[in-house]
Amino acid sequence: MRIDHRKVAVAVAVICLAAALAGCSDGGSNPPPSPPAPPSPPPPPPPASVEREISPALANPALTANLAANFVINPNPAVSAKNRLFVMLPGTGAIPRTYREIVRVGAARGYHALGLTYPNDEAIETLCGGNPIPDCAGLARREVIMGEPVSTLVNVDAPNSITGRLTSLLTYLSATFPAEGWGQYLVNGQVNWSLVTVAGHSQGSGHAGYLAKIRDLNRAVMFSGPGDTGATAGSSADWLSLPNFTGVARQFGFTHTADPLAPLPNVLRNWGVIDLDLFGAPVSVDGAAAPYNNAHQLVTSAPPNPNPAGPSAAPEHGAPVVDSVTPRDAQGNPLYRDVWIYLAFP
């Protein structure tokens, strides 16, 4: 049989043309590439910084006392997030609203920042100054901080303690405002103290100092204290001699030279026991600029605000950090803003 090669060639050409139109060739080929995936949407911007007052009972309905609102601010989104938490502990009988300015400075610097309400009705020095009970002040502070039943002079259970209240507040904030990042300060439901700077005024200064003895804090800052004295005149409370769990390089103090409630000699003696004097003698911030010779003991003799925004029994005691009596510059801003940044918000 004769083969018509011209017809065969035409048939092959037709088949190849059809194959080409179908996306193949006589030698075979890969299918056309898939179109590229659309780009991922950019992450949402961080939420705006908002000031909030949150009742302790909202965070933990079991709380029935010391219910003044906590003062809370999430970080300013216009600056780099520090991913650190600042906690301000009020002095005896004071509430978080008393210390809003320093909390605002922390948030403006990129910190999560809050003032915490806790059981502070009785001054530790009033309870324990000269008291022969061994480690009286240390045991009282431990019960207020941890809620452990170790002191006969205070009665604070775990939910009411500083640790319990901070834990419940962070849990509430994380659940209610998840985009703000409060949850990073909890690990398995416990406070991640290594990310927390604890500052305190007066009674709160001693709690900050005691926490530095038992937890590895990011920083500890003590305003106008601690003034805890021991069983004998001129001695320091026992707890001040405990080893520092938080390195002393991350502990700082700031007080007024004319403080009548926590006298300068007592405070300097206690700072020395903590070992703040390893970084040099006390340095006055008056007319000076950071870093204040890299000192960890700072003092001021500047007059308190001559037009206080509220009553104060001892303006010099509050001047380093209390809103109503802290001195202001010509624009009305806190005079010690740069001091606070050096101490707590690097």
Whether the per-residue pLDDT at 101 is higher than 70: the answer is: yes
For the chain, the structural domain boundaries read 51-344
Judge whether residue 344 has pLDDT over 90.
Answer: yes
pLDDT in tens, 45-54: 778 899 999 9
Using the predicted structure, report yes or no on whether residue 207 has a pLDDT greater than 90: yes
Average pLDDT of the residues in 176-190: 97
For residue range 297-320, what is the model confidence (pLDDT) as tens digits? 999 999 999 888 777 779 999 999
Q: What is the CA radius of gyration of the chain?
A: 31
pLDDT(118) > 80 = yes
Compute the average pLDDT of residues 110-115.
99
- Position 164 pLDDT exceeds 80: yes
In this prediction, what percent of the chain has a pLDDT beyond 70? 90
Q: Does domain 51-344 have CATH number 3.30.70?
A: no
Burial of 183 (0-12, 13-18, 19+ CB in 10 A): middle
pTM above 0.95, yes or no: no
CA dist., res. 282 & res. 210, Å (int): 21
DSSP state, residue 237: -
| Cα-based distances in Å from 36 to 31, 32, 33, 230 | 15, 12, 9, 73
The tens digit of pLDDT for each residue in 257-285 reads 999 999 999 999 999 999 999 999 999 99
Place of tokens 């009596």: 325
Residue 23 has pLDDT above 50, yes or no: no
